[in-house]
Structure 1
Amino acid sequence: MEDNMPNQGGMATTDVSAHLEDTIRQLYKDIVIATNKQLESNSEDEGSSDEERQRYCEKKAAKAAEIEAARKARLNPLTVDPNAVWDPSNPTTQKPKRKQRPRKGKTMRHAEDNIDEGEELEFIIPEGDPFDPAKPLHTRMLTAVQVFRQNHRFTPTGAKMFSMYLTYGAMDESAQLSEEFELEVDFEYVVASFLSHFVIHRAGIPQDAAYSITPRVLQAFLVSLRTLKAIPEYDAQIEAAIQVTQQAQDELPLVKAINTDELPFEGRQFHAACFELFISNDGLDLDKLDAYVATDDQPKSNDSSSSSNLGSMEESAAIYKDAMRKLGKDTRLEGVRVVRRTLPMFLTIEAIDVEKVEDYGVLQLVPYVSTDVDEEEQMEAKTTIRRMELLLPVELAKKLQVGMKMDGSYYELSNGVWFGEPLTLFPSYFRRIVEVSDDILFT
């Protein structure tokens, strides 16, 4: 019996294992069946609400699009009204962006050519009626100057010249004047004399740009007086002064270039040569100089025994002889002397002939007598000279204009030829400076 026991125990173990496997398989099948039924049930339920699911998907897509748009605009997903006044407590308003002030730049003071000093601006006028004709003239003028300074974009040179312009006419912007104070204004004279005699002869301004900028800044100021209607009773004078500034924009740079040798002024060589030969020759016998200077009709001498004493006189004599040959006059120095001279005086260019003489332009000049000087000065300015001719290089003569003035001391030679030394050119609108009293407003 004992031998059969192990066999019985082994059969029992096998039956239990098989039973467990069958049970597990059945449970798995039941779970799968139940799961499939649940899935089918859910599918039927979802199929009954397709419209709701579609609306849900559309809302979700719209929200996603809104969020994406907000992200791109770097704003909150909330709707922002760009026209609404910003309120920190209201997320639908947008904080205004801070305006950036234009940077002045370190190169501003050197950008003279980038600023239009003659530009007409829209002026910010003080409240009230600052230019009421009932107000005193000096009050309206001071206000106009202040408005111009506040609105005009000056270059450093332009600002300096405008201040000199005011000082020249004794206009004190800080002065406290009484209501009874009366002004005498002459716009055309003050502008013309400042842009001619003062700027060229007395100012000593080193900047070349001042000669082109100054007329433009003064024109802008005069135009502002007209635009603001600050002193309409002087409109005619203001218009005349504006015309002067327009002339100055063309003539003043040319005059500056000629007077400072920026343009070739070889005609000065003739005048300087004559001055050396006939005024400062230190008693040198000009008759002997003829033998050492060659001309077309007179060969140069080979005798150098006394030529070492001539120095630059030989060169001056050559310049003189060449000019005389082109004028058709005797080229010899023998017997030529100064027969008449003038005090320093202004002459007006009456005519310019650029075809009369080879390589030279012939300027016909008449004495200039200013109407701005008093009777005593008028008497001193009187002269017996009615007309004279001066030689200038033809290319330079072509640049000049009839009406321009020339200042210098002039000498007439015994052969009828005139020369001047020194010579300074002035524009056609030239006005002589006279003393400006404190009760004349400079504009």
Structure 2
Amino acid sequence: SYPLRDSSVHIIAIGKAGLSMVKGAEEVLGDKVVGGIASVPFGSPQIESKVSFFPGAENNLPDRVASETAEKIENYISKLEKDDLVLFLISGGGSALLPAPIPGTSIEDKLNLTKALASNGTTIQELNTVRIALSRLKGGKLARLVKGKSISLIISDIVGDPIELIASGPTVPQESSKGRALEILERRCWSSVPKSVKEVLSTNPEIKEGKDPDVQNVIVLSNKFLVQSIVENFEEFRKKELPELKVKVEIRSTSFEGDATEAGRNFFDEISKEPSSSTLSIKIFAGETTVKFPSNLKNAKGGRNQELALAFLDRLVDGKLKSPPSFFSGILCVGTDGQDGPTDAAGAYCSDLDILGLSEDELKNLKCQTTSSLVSKKSYSFWNSFNSGKNHIKFGKTGHNLMDIYVVFQIRNE
């Protein structure tokens, strides 16, 4: 418990859900909140608050603006007293919004390294391990600045909810592993690693941290809650609007990972092998896939959700060309933060209805387009033009991040 009678509460919010988390905290704590700093994405709306908001990390990449906010946070916490209670509000995107390069490296190094890792199929777990090794604040070092007690409420955006890796664990005490970071870089993108980063990780010794800070870390939300809510809301809608429809909904995974293209193809292949029925079969997956962008590609643009949906459509068209299917199927792929990769789209969806009535020549032409777009990594351009852009999901940034949702459905063609 944290008695607030003689304490002032200072809020430090970092991540895509920063605005909504601050708003909720102020509604509950009222006048006990005396101030704070929030590092939030560009485009976040402004609200009346005792907390000062600083936008940064355009396209979810570390930049100098976010780095300056990280310094403001360091300075703010350093001025607090032991009796001051710090409430950390941490969410997805926090890694890019709290860039604090260790001596010997720069914000430009971190930006180039992030791009190189992201384009080589690096998992978010691997990416954040490297970030922790190169940061003054990640890996629990932010919490170590607090003289007294602190609480950290965390929204998970990583498969399996590893608390030490969410937003690179700024409030979770842990040992920085430069050796592990080096191994990841050597395996993923060694030729693209800045010289300064190689030198810092190879020559500087591991720093033994002192006494652990007095911090309580709690995960308050993850994609498991979101997926369950989706199922419950759909069932309410079905009972009210479509009572005659027979539906079977399965939550297949909340920790789905893998290559986006392979996942899209596998989803279609899986439902194709299942016996179809008059009952609408809906399978829900949640998690985060990866995309590899070969360095020699030009004008590549897209994201894992757009690519996954494109790979599904590629298989869908291929199946239609080979033989008329005995079932209708489709997929919806969406990033819960509203931003899929460095684009303004959240994802895409498609089904048999989108290719219904196309001639064999039209299907062959579409197949060439889907295959070409997958190879050239231009999923954004494809969805922007396909069906006049109607299958391209764009609803803007949501102010939170609970990873991605993939909904696959099938019903017999009668």
Q: Which has the higher strand share?
A: 2
- Which structure would you say has the larger Rg? 1
Q: TM-score range by the shorter chain?
A: under 0.3
Q: TM-score, normalised by structure 1?
A: 0.22
